[in-house]
Amino acid sequence: EKLPGHLRETIQRRTEVLGPGYMLMYKEPVEFVSGHGAHLVDRDGNDYLDAYNNVPCVGHAHPHVVKAVSCQLAAVNTNTRYAQQPLVDYAERLLATFPDELSKLSLACSGSEANDLAMRVARFHTGGEGIIVTRWAYHGITREVSSFSPSLGKGSPLGPNVRLIDPPDPRLVAPGSTLADHMRHQVRGAIDDLERHGYRLAALVTDSAYSSDGIFTDPVGYMTGVVEEVHAAGGVYIADEVQAGFARLGDSMWGFRRQGVLPDIVTLGKPMGNGVPLSGVVFRPEVSDEFGRNVRYFNTFAGSSIPVAAGAAVLDVLEEEDVQQRVLENGKALRAGLEAITQQSPYVAEVRGTGLYYAVEIVQDRESLEPDRTRAEDLINDMRGRRVLISASGKGANVLKIRPPLAFSESDVTRFLETFAEVAEVRL
Ligand code: PMP
């Protein structure tokens, strides 16, 4: 056992009080006591490179966010039943980053709550119940949202009103067809099947980065026909930007923009408050106003002064530090490095991704493309052994998921690639 005594003891006590549902990452788990930028520091002062956590988007313990939240905490925290100017300022600023049609904001505390509200509004507006998601999607933890989160597995059954489609993986397209036709055809089929079972469509929900499906960011342009089908069936399109949003994909603040389509509802979370619980739902008013007039939605903590202070500070940093540009530049270097390191490997099917979100698909061989979960796990644990943090995604848990804080710098890219090259030398 290499684990330091204090860590072993914490893990033992943890199991006692938290039970078996609480998993830890890595064969050799780790505990952090501080962080800065894309770096985390353990109790013994060792520096780790964080290439996995998207919540601290502008960096761990960013001083501007710390100051804004601390000042607000020391002043007052009130809820949305009081007229709060900072909340209005924040809502205006955030909405200004969306197309004009998406002009109403509701606040919540987690991505799950955002998707739960989005689906309530979608059901209310359309009068339908049918839901379409991708085959291995994750959208959250509430009863409703887990019923359309197939990645939760067998213990968490899908609703009878839920239909699954493939993520936009060009390798699944039949010869002679196109990705756009493939996606449209699947959505059409799902709508027909729902209707045969007595369900009218409420919504298609897609994660704009297809994170748990294994990360599929390109090619773009296949969504136009999909959204046409959804609208023709009376449903709405919900873009889940909990992972893709806030400049993660580099060329836009919002992942759906890359597709050139307009969602009816957009859900936001994770990086929105840089770690302070803050999430949101953005609506086209035609979709949400009737709900707002008829249903009382008051969420105690959502939109209160402290999370709003965090959210506004995140927007400040995104603007002032020109984060998007950095994401583009460092992302390009990261991707080029990943491709160079893996291109000869018989165990790497593909490098996918854009901005600061990358997938390296680990397979048994390039012909069968069978997932190799064990090799992926070994790679992840080898990286962790060298103090670089990543994890996995996809149905086969075989897709390395590289998703650092957006504060990832040029030297972080260099350190990441040097470490990855060492590990690949042995495993790939
Ligand atoms: N949607 C997506 C795409 C997510 O990745 C997640 C969280 N992993 C959620 C929704 C749920 O967010 P939360 O954990 O904040 O409830």
| Adjacent-strand bridge partners of 399 | 361, 393
* Ligand 1 pocket, residue 240 CB under 6 Å: yes
Tell me, yes or no, whether 167 and 154 share the same domain. yes
Average the pLDDT over 366-393 and give the result.
98
Alpha-carbon distance of 399 to 350, in angstroms, equals 9
Alpha-carbon distance of 130 to 161, in angstroms, equals 5
Domain-embedded: residue 205: yes
Residue with tokens 């997932």: 371
Domain-embedded: residue 218: yes
Domain-embedded: residue 6: no
Asked if 277 and 301 count as a contact pair (C-beta separation under 8 A), the reply is yes
Tell me, yes or no, whether 397 and 314 share the same domain. no
Using one digit for the tens of pLDDT, what is the confidence trace for 197-246? 999 999 999 999 999 999 999 999 999 999 999 999 999 999 999 999 99
pLDDT interval class at 390 (50, 70, 90)? very high
**Domain closes at, from 296, 320, 344:** 320
CATH of the domain at 386: 3.90.1150.10
**Domain closes at, from 304, 320, 336:** 320
* Ligand 1 pocket, residue 140 CB under 6 Å: yes
Q: Sign of the CA dihedral 342, 344, 349, 354?
A: positive
Using one digit for the tens of pLDDT, what is the confidence trace for 46-86? 999 999 999 999 999 999 999 999 999 999 999 999 999 99
Tell me, yes or no, whether 38 and 91 share the same domain. no
Radius of gyration of the chain (CA): 22
Per the rule left: phi > 0, alpha: psi between -120 and 50, beta: everything else, 369 is left
Average the pLDDT over 321-342 and give the result.
97
Alpha-carbon distance of 116 to 112, in angstroms, equals 6
* Ligand 1 pocket, residue 401 CB under 6 Å: no
Tell me, yes or no, whether 267 and 311 share the same domain. yes
* Ligand 1 pocket, residue 331 CB under 6 Å: no
Q: How are the residues of the chain apportioned to helix, strand and coil, as percentages rounded to the nearest 5?
A: 40, 20, 40
pLDDT interval class at 1 (50, 70, 90)? low
Average the pLDDT over 408-422 and give the result.
98
Domain-embedded: residue 248: yes
Q: What is the pLDDT of residue 3?
A: 87
CATH of the domain at 79: 3.40.640.10
Average the pLDDT over 143-153 and give the result.
97
Q: Which residues contact 176 (CB under 8 A, 6 or more apart)?
A: none
pLDDT interval class at 2 (50, 70, 90)? confident
Q: What is the pLDDT of residue 344?
A: 95
Alpha-carbon distance of 370 to 4, in angstroms, equals 37
Query: What is the residue with the minimal CA distance to atom 2 of ligand 1?
Result: 139
Which of 138, 141, 267, 401, when mutated, tests ligand 1's pocket best, judged by the most ligand atoms within 8 Å of its CB? 138
111 CA: nearest ligand 1 atom: 12
Domain-embedded: residue 49: yes
Domain-embedded: residue 117: yes
How far is residue 269 from each of residues 74, 162, 172, 246, 346, measured CA to CA in Å? Answer: 25, 23, 30, 9, 37
Tell me, yes or no, whether 250 and 231 share the same domain. yes
Q: Which domain holds residue 171?
A: 63-320
* Ligand 1 pocket, residue 271 CB under 6 Å: no
Tell me, yes or no, whether 37 and 68 share the same domain. no
Q: What is the pLDDT of residue 205?
A: 98
Domain count, the chain: 2
Average pLDDT of the chain is 97
Domain-embedded: residue 338: yes
Q: What is the pLDDT of residue 427?
A: 97
Domain-embedded: residue 179: yes
% of the chain with per-residue pLDDT over 70: 100
Query: What is the residue with the minimal CA distance to atom 13 of ligand 1?
Result: 111
Alpha-carbon distance of 188 to 182, in angstroms, equals 10
Alpha-carbon distance of 408 to 388, in angstroms, equals 12
Asked if 246 and 55 count as a contact pair (C-beta separation under 8 A), the reply is no
**Domain closes at, from 265, 285, 320:** 320
Alpha-carbon distance of 369 to 127, in angstroms, equals 42
55: CA distance to ligand 1 center in Å? 11
Tell me, yes or no, whether 218 and 355 share the same domain. no
Using one digit for the tens of pLDDT, what is the confidence trace for 264-321? 999 999 999 999 999 999 999 999 999 999 999 999 999 999 999 999 999 999 999 9
115 CA: nearest ligand 1 atom: 10
Tell me, yes or no, whether 74 and 109 share the same domain. yes
Tell me, yes or no, whether 83 and 191 share the same domain. yes
Q: Quick check: 393 pLDDT over 80?
A: yes
The size of the chain, in residues, is 428
ipTM value, please give it: 0.99
Tell me, yes or no, whether 233 and 296 share the same domain. yes
- Side-by-side strand order, sheet with 391-393: 348-354, 357-362, 399-402, 391-393
Using omega within 30 degrees of 0 as the cis cutoff, is the peptide bond preceding 168 cis? Answer: no
Tell me, yes or no, whether 339 and 423 share the same domain. yes
112 CA: nearest ligand 1 atom: 16
Tell me, yes or no, whether 362 and 233 share the same domain. no
